[in-house]
Structure 1
C-alpha cells in the first residue's frame, strides 16, 4: 500500500502542497533504481542545470580549422564529443559554461588574446545561427529568462589568464566581451600565478601582477576560478579577493591523494568560508586513484610507443593502437563516484558549497559509466536521490548554489 502511494506521488512529480504552501517530499531511498531514474529525468527537465566548464569551443575550433565563418553543426546529435544541442536537451542541461581555453603553449608563441577572441566569436555564432534554440547569457537572470523561454544558455569563461597577456586592461576587455569567469592558470605557470601541473613555482603563489588581476576581477564582478592553481596560489587568492571564489571544475583530493589539481579539505573549507563553491568534475582520473594510476601508466607507454614509431596521437594508425592497448587496462568507474565526491563536500562544509563542472570535451574518454555525455545528468541526479538528497538539495547543486555565489560576486562589484 505504501509503495502504491509513493508511486502515485512520483507520477505527480512527487510534490504535495498543503493550503499553507508547505511541501512534503517522498523518501526517494525507498524506490527502485528505475523509479528513481524516472523521477531524476523529471527533475532534470524542470530544474535549471548549470555546468561550470565545457571545452566545446576548442572542439569547434579544431573541426573548423579556426575559421569563424565555418558553421559547426551543434544543433544536430553528433557521434563525437560530449555535448551538442540534442544531448543537452535530453539531459536537461540548461547553461553549460563555454570554456575559452588558451593552451599554455600560447604563453610562449604569443597570440593568446587573438585565440580567445576567435573562440568567443565561435560561441556567439551558435546563438546567432539558432536564436530560437540558443542564447548567450551574462548573468543568473539571463539564464533564468532563457530557461523560461526554452532556450539553451551559453555563458562563457576564460580558461587560463594567459588570454589577458601582460595587460590588466584586458580583464575588462574580456568582461565586456561577455566573459564571466577566468581560470587563473592552466598547464604551466603564467604571469598571474603558479599552476598545479607545473613544478617550477615561478612566483611561489600569486604574482604581484596576479594580485592586481584578482582585484580587477572583484571590481568588475568576474568570477575567480581557482581550478588549476597551486595551493599556495589559492591561499594568496583567498587572502586578496573580497568576493567568493569558485573552483569551476575540480574534484576532491581525498580520493586522489597527492593530486594537487583536485582541492584539499583545507581548500574546500576556505572556499566555504568565503561563501564560494566547488564544482565537481567528471573525469575518471579526478575521481578515483586507481583509475588515475592506470591512466598514467597507459599514457607513459603510449608516449614512448608514439616516439618509437614516429607517430602523433592524431595519426589513424596511432588511434587504432591506442584504442586497442587501452581497452581493458582502466579500472571501472561509475557515475556514483561523482555523487560520492559531491557527498563528501556536503558532509565537510554543507549543501550550499557544491555544484557541477563536468569538463565535458576536455577529459577525453576518461568519463565514468553512466556519465559519458550531456544526456546523462539524470543518472547523476538518480545517484544523489539514492543517497537521500532531497529535491531542494539537488536544485541547489544544479544551479541554486552557483546563482547565489555569482550574485554575491556581482554585489561585491556594485
Structure 2
C-alpha cells in the first residue's frame, strides 16, 4: 500500500502503526557521498544540494533498512511503519526492516540525478548545505579577519550533546536497540574536538506533554527502573564509542592528548535519577562507566532537588543532592545544574568546592514560570563559583545562528566572557534547533566574530572555558 505524505504531516499515519507500507520520496543519506546506506531519511522534499539533509519531521521519516539500499535519488521504499513516541530528535515515524519496493516512482515525482545533486553541493558551498572545516570554511566572508581559526592546542568542546543517539527509545519495539547515528564524521567535518556525551536516565517515565512543547514526567518509576535505564544507556554509549572509534576523556591529561587526535567524548549523564537515592552509585558510575560530568536533575523532580519546569517540592537542592555534589567534588566529576531551579543552584553553589556548570540554557530578562531560560541572577550564581553557562540553539529563542551569537553576547555581558560556553543539546530538542550538526560550527564561530567577540574570546566560548572547569574539577 503506497501512502501519501499528507498522512505523515497530519499524523493520520498513526493509525498505520506497525503496518507494512510503501512510501516514495528522496532517499537522503547523512553522508552525501554514499552510494548506499542502511540508515537514511526518506523525504518528500527535493534537497537543494548534496550536503543538505531534511530537518522537517512533517515531510521526512527515518528508514532502517534490512540491508544497504541505493540512496541519493527518488525511490520507493517498503517497510513497517512505526509511530515514534516522544523521539528525542523530533521524528514522528520510522520505516523499519525496509527494502526497495517494487514499481517505479509515480508520475510527477521530482527527478534530480545523483550527479546533479552532488555537483550542486560542491558548487554552492553553503554553510547550511555543505560541511566544512575551520581551515577551509567556504561560507565565511572573503575577509580573512572574519574567519576564526583555533590557535594551536585549543579545543572546541560541546558542554551537552546526545550525538549518535545513545538515548533509548520509549517504543518497546525499538527500545535499547535503536540504530545509532553518525557522530565522529560530523565532528571532524565541523572541527568539534570534544563533546560531553550525555545519557538520559528518566527516559521511560517522561513524555511530551499535552501542549506538545515540553517534556514532563507522567508516572512514578518502579524501584530499580531508572538505574536499569542508566546502565542500558551507559552500555549504548560504550557501543557508540567503539563503533565511531571515539576517544574517551577521563582527566586533564587525556583531554589534552586525545582532544587533538580525533573526535573525543566526556561521558556525561543528564539527570542523576539512576542513583535512586544511593550515593555509592556515584562511585560506581565513575569507576565502571567513566562518568565525568553529572547533571543533577532533568524532567522529573527527583531525590536531588527541584526542576525549572515543575512546581517546587523540596525548596531547591535536597540534603541528598548536596551529598552528591560533595561526592562529585571529591571524585572529580563536573557538577551540572541545568534544569535545576534557582534555589537549587544557590544551594549547590554554597555547597560545592569546585566550579559548577549549567550546560544548556539561555538568558531571559524575566523567565516565564516553568521556563528553561534563566535570569541574570541565576546565571551569576553559577559564574560566581568560577563556572560556565552553556548557551543552547533553541529555535524558539534564536531563529538563526546570528541571533544565537547575540544571545551568547547577552550572557557574556551579564557574567563575563570567561563564564560562557556552548551547549548544543544535539538531538535533544522536540523541534529542530538552529544548530543541528557540528558541520555548522564554523558558521557559529563566524557569527560570534560578527557579534563583536575577539578571536581569543571565541576560543574561550567554544571550549576554553569548559576546559578550565573540567581541569579544575577532574584534575
Relative to the length of structure 2, the TM-score reads 0.62
Q: 1:128 to 1:38 in 2, by over 3 A?
A: farther
* C-alpha distance in structure 2 between counterparts of 1:55 and 1:278, whole Å: 18
SS at match of 2:297: coil
1:357 maps to what in 2? 423
CA contact (8 A) 1:74 1:85 kept: no
CA contact (8 A) 1:226 1:234 kept: yes
Q: 1:60 to 1:350 in 2, by over 3 A?
A: closer
Q: 1:44 to 1:113 in 2, by over 3 A?
A: farther
2:468 maps to what in 1? 404
CA contact (8 A) 1:36 1:386 kept: no
2:247 maps to what in 1? 135
Unaligned runs of 5+ in 1: 1-11, 14-31, 76-83, 289-332
2:406 maps to what in 1? 340
CA contact (8 A) 1:66 1:118 kept: no
Matches for 1:12-411 after TM superposition, within 5 Å = 34-35=141-142, 40=147, 42-43=149-150, 47-56=154-163, 58=165, 61-62=168-169, 65-67=174-176, 72=179, 74-75=181-182, 84-103=183-202, 105-106=204-205, 108-109=221-222, 110-131=224-245, 134-149=246-261, 151-176=262-287, 177-199=289-311, 201-254=312-365, 257-258=368-369, 260-285=371-396, 287-288=397-398, 333-368=399-434, 371-410=435-474
CA contact (8 A) 2:167 2:200 kept: no
CA RMSD of aligned residues (A): 2.8
* C-alpha distance in structure 2 between counterparts of 1:140 and 1:280, whole Å: 23
Aligned-residue offset at 1:124:
1.6
Unaligned runs of 5+ in 2: 1-133, 206-219
Aligned-residue offset at 1:375:
0.9
SS at match of 1:145: helix
Task: Give the stretch that moved more between structures: 163-172 or 102-111.
Answer: 102-111
Higher strand share: 2
* C-alpha distance in structure 2 between counterparts of 1:195 and 1:264, whole Å: 15
SS at match of 1:242: coil
Q: 1:228 to 1:73 in 2, by over 3 A?
A: closer
1:371-410 superposed Cα distances (whole Å, 9 cap, x missing partner):
3322101111001111222221111111111111112223
* C-alpha distance in structure 2 between counterparts of 1:55 and 1:193, whole Å: 23
1:191-249 superposed Cα distances (whole Å, 9 cap, x missing partner):
110111111x2211111211111111111121111110111111111111121110011
* C-alpha distance in structure 2 between counterparts of 1:188 and 1:129, whole Å: 32
Aligned length: 321
Bigger RCO (CA 8 Å, 6+ sep) = 1
CA contact (8 A) 2:140 2:147 kept: no
Aligned-residue offset at 1:44:
9.8
Aligned-residue offset at 1:121:
1.7
